[in-house]
Chain A
Amino acid sequence: MITSIILTKLKNAFTDLLPIILVIAFFQVVVLRQPLPQMGEVLFGALLVVAGLSLFVQGLEMGLFPIGESMAHALARKGSLFWLLCFAFALGFSTTVAEPALIAVAWEAAEIASQGGLIDPSRESLNQYAFGLRMSVAFSVGLAILIGVMRILRGWPIHYLIISGYAIVMVMTIIAPKEIIGIAYDAGGVTTSTITVPLVAALGVGLASSIKGRSPLVDGFGLIAFASLLPMIFVMGYGLIIFG
């Protein structure tokens, strides 16, 4: 019984990985016509990926989804808007502020800005710039989850909010310095990590299903969309303020 469950999970994970194996094999054999370097290492790595993915999916069903939903239900039952919004902001802010990908991007952005002569190339001013960038991204993700939760509570239609967000991004792209634009667009992508996404999705769906008159499908999703839109606006805004 248990072995058959484990086997199904492993088989599913293998299916998930299969396209990558096919693409790499096709390009190595047909196009590049070169032998694979370190075949043993690659096979061992692929086994780890399959095992890891099956464990992760099992853990999602047992741990991350239920805790996200039970927090959403408990906070909705408590009925305190203040604490619900606090939780939403803290979840977005705390999972983003120390994200390694964000730290790397912020540091890279500081170097590009100093090469462009926009900030003083001393170590202290680079640090200060990177720190400011990280804080504005983390703050914007917190705010994004907060706005997303407010939307679920009030039942605002998502497209008005997202489209006005896009309009702001478009206008800011035209006026923002070009050294910040590439970073700003990529910042939206690095904020949503693999552990945050399931938790945030479960929070949204849990909230939408515990509030009367909200549909989990129409209202429960959308939190991640805010979390990838708002950082773009804030990073370009940060660039505009710092560079004048």
Chain B
Amino acid sequence: MEFIYEFSKILLATCRDVLPIIILIVGFQFLVLRQPIPHLRRLIVGGVYVVIGLALFLAGLEKALFPLGNIMATQLSDPVFIYGTGEVVVHADWKAYGWVYLFAAMIGFATTIAEPSLIAVAYKANEVSAGTISQWGLRITVAIGVAFGISLGTFRIVTGTPLYLFILVGYMIVIAQTIFAPKSIIALAYDSGGVTTSTVTVPLVAALGLGLSATVPGRNPALDGFGLIAFASLFPIIAVMGYAQLMHWTTQRKIKSMEKK
């Protein structure tokens, strides 16, 4: 009973998210385009699927994943677990947080694979590239980028290095890669930075960041807890362009060695 109440609340919230889109599309069809929408019934059924599917997805996450992720983040960043004693530690030793970095990387990878926005973009990219960009190839590359980014982000929280240093260096790398990467991948690479930080990743990663900055000695959650999301959207760009460069380079080498023969 309680679940049905919770689910209807989530369903209503999802409907409310869709409402502006429906108003906009219907308004444009009637006032500007003045044409009937083709395959209207199919579209409506698809729209209903999206809303119900997303509501079920969110309800399931709130029931299973988020509480579990929160518990695990607190357990892993607990000083008793990290240092093995209950004594108060004044200075954080960054070497003691190995499991936290590993957890951050693995949970970043895993949640990115399940991210619906990324599934949508990978589907489109596969379609318009006529199959050259594989859906799983793109999703795994992006997930590796997020894994590295979030792991580095937790390292930053532990050591207390200023956020902007990492971001500025990251931007430099992106700019340098943009100059050398194949032109066809650039737009998609930039986009993959924006889609990773969505429904699944943001709540879990935010919980990890806030939990960690609350337990690491000398950190303030209000100032240090932020920024993990920025890492999670910067490194996929680097990963996707890097992968494209690598592919480009290996095919070039193959062609060259074939020419020699």
Footprint of B on A, CB under 8 Å?
Answer: 16-17, 19-20, 22-24, 26-28, 31-32, 34, 36-38, 41-67, 70-71, 74-75, 78, 80, 83, 87, 90-91, 94-95, 97-101, 112, 115, 157-159, 162-163, 166, 169-170, 173-174, 178, 181-183, 185-186, 188-190, 192-199, 201-202, 205, 209, 215-225, 227-228
Instruction: Kindly state whether residue B59 has any CB partner on chain A within 8 Å.
Output: yes
Closest to A173 in B: B164
Chain A residue numbers with a CB within 8 Å of B128 are: 205, 209, 216-217, 220
Chain B residue numbers with a CB within 8 Å of A62 are: 42-43, 45-46, 49
Instruction: Kindly state whether residue B114 has any CB partner on chain A within 8 Å.
Output: yes
Chain B residue numbers with a CB within 8 Å of A60 are: 46, 50, 119-120, 123
**Other A-B pairs beyond A201-B121, A228-B233, 5, CB < 8 Å:** A20-B114, A56-B57, A56-B116, A64-B120, A195-B21
Q: Which of B98-112 contact A (CB under 8 A)?
A: 99, 103, 106-107, 109-111
- A200 to B: closest C-beta gap in Å: 9
Are B61's CB and A225's CB within 8 A?
A: no
**Would A189 and B20 be within 8 Å (CB), given that A66-B46, A195-B50, A197-B120 are in contact?**
no
- A59 to B: closest C-beta gap in Å: 3
Instruction: Kindly state whether residue B190 has any CB partner on chain A within 8 Å.
Output: yes
Are A185's CB and B124's CB within 8 A?
A: no
**Would A59 and B47 be within 8 Å (CB), given that A36-B68, A158-B186 are in contact?**
yes
**B: number of interface residues (CB 8 Å):** 98
| Bound Cα distance from A175 to B226, whole angstroms | 19
- A116 to B: closest C-beta gap in Å: 9
| Bound Cα distance from A45 to B66, whole angstroms | 10
- B173 to A: closest C-beta gap in Å: 11
Footprint of A on B, CB under 8 Å?
Answer: 13, 16-18, 20-21, 23-25, 28, 32-33, 35, 37-39, 42-65, 67-68, 71-72, 75-76, 81, 99, 103, 106-107, 109-111, 113-114, 116-117, 119-121, 123-125, 127-129, 163-164, 167-168, 171, 174-175, 178, 183-184, 186-188, 190-191, 193-195, 197-199, 202, 222-223, 225-227, 229-230, 232-233
- B30 to A: closest C-beta gap in Å: 12
Closest to A95 in B: B20
Are B188's CB and A188's CB within 8 A?
A: no
Q: Interface residues of B: mostly helix, strand, loop or mixed? A: helix
Chain A residue numbers with a CB within 8 Å of B53 are: 51-59
Q: Interface residues of A: mostly helix, strand, loop or mixed? A: helix
- B253 to A: closest C-beta gap in Å: 24
Are A169's CB and B171's CB within 8 A?
A: yes
A selection of 23 A-B contacts at a CB cut-off of 8 Å is A19-B110, A23-B103, A27-B72, A42-B68, A43-B64, A45-B60, A45-B61, A45-B64, A60-B46, A63-B50, A66-B39, A94-B20, A158-B190, A170-B168, A174-B164, A182-B223, A189-B197, A193-B198, A194-B199, A195-B18, A205-B128, A218-B183, A220-B128
**Would A52 and B50 be within 8 Å (CB), given that A47-B60, A87-B24 are in contact?**
no
Q: Which of B45, B75, B111, B194 contacts A32 (CB 8 A)?
A: B75
| Bound Cα distance from A19 to B164, whole angstroms | 31
Q: Which of B17, B56, B183, B223 contacts A48 (CB 8 A)?
A: B56
Q: Which of B28, B46, B121, B171 contacts A61 (CB 8 A)?
A: B46
Are A101's CB and B124's CB within 8 A?
A: no
